């Protein structure tokens, strides 16, 4: 992608499911090494701050930086606040991937992340977030 600015939503959606979940799980932390090359290919080298490795090679350890990192961090703040606002019963229903019973739909905030116009997150990102919650993978 070179020097051109990336669209973080487009870049996120171009990544594999594994890379998306890993970056969403910890958008400001150290990336799993198996996804560094993919992120560099999709987002450009400037989106990866290498911690180790040579200047000409794919780093062994790296941190996401730039527009994609900022986008994921912003979305995580919105989604985490939404998740915390849910009742424990509703979170359990979502984690079990059950249909939300009508008795619980009244507890959903008016702007759930998948319907809110003001939420900056893509539908794929919200689905990935709910996947992390449903599978019990640790969200940092």
Q: pLDDT tens digits, residue range 41-50?
A: 998 888 888 7
1 domain residue, yes or no: no
Q: What is the pLDDT of residue 56?
A: 58
- Given this model, what pLDDT does residue 124 score? 85
**Domain presence at residue 3:** no
Q: What is the pLDDT of residue 15?
A: 96
Q: Is residue 23 part of a domain?
A: yes
Inside any domain, residue 123: yes
Domain that holds residue 62: 8-135
In a domain, 2, yes or no: no
pTM score, whole prediction: 0.77
Least confident of 17-21, 28-32, 114-118: 114-118
Query: Is 50 part of any domain?
Result: yes
Structural domain includes residue 85: yes
Q: Return the pLDDT at 73.
A: 92
pLDDT at 121: 74
Number of folded domains that form the chain:
1
Long-range contacts of 6-11 (CB under 8 A, 24+ apart): 6/43, 6/44, 6/47, 6/66, 6/67, 6/68, 7/67, 8/67, 8/68, 8/70, 8/71, 8/72, 9/71, 9/122, 9/125, 11/42, 11/43, 11/47, 11/67, 11/68
- For the ranges 28-37, 93-102, 103-112, which has the lowest average pLDDT? 103-112
């Amino acid at each position: 992608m070179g020097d051109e600015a990336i669209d973080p939503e487009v870049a996120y959606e171009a990544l594999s499911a594994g890379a998306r979940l890993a970056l969403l799980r910890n958008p400001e932390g150290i990336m799993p090494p198996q996804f560094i090359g993919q992120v560099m290919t999709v987002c450009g080298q400037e989106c990866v701050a290498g911690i180790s490795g040579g200047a000409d090679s794919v780093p062994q350890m790296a941190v996401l930086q730039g527009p994609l990192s900022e986008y994921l961090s912003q979305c995580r703040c919105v989604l985490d606040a939404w998740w915390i606002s849910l009742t424990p019963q509703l979170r359990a229903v979502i984690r079990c991937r059950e249909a939300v019973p009508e008795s619980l739909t009244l507890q959903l905030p008016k702007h759930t992340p998948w319907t809110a116009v003001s939420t900056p997150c893509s539908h794929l990102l919200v689905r990935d977030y709910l996947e992390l919650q449903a599978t019990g993978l640790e969200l940092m």
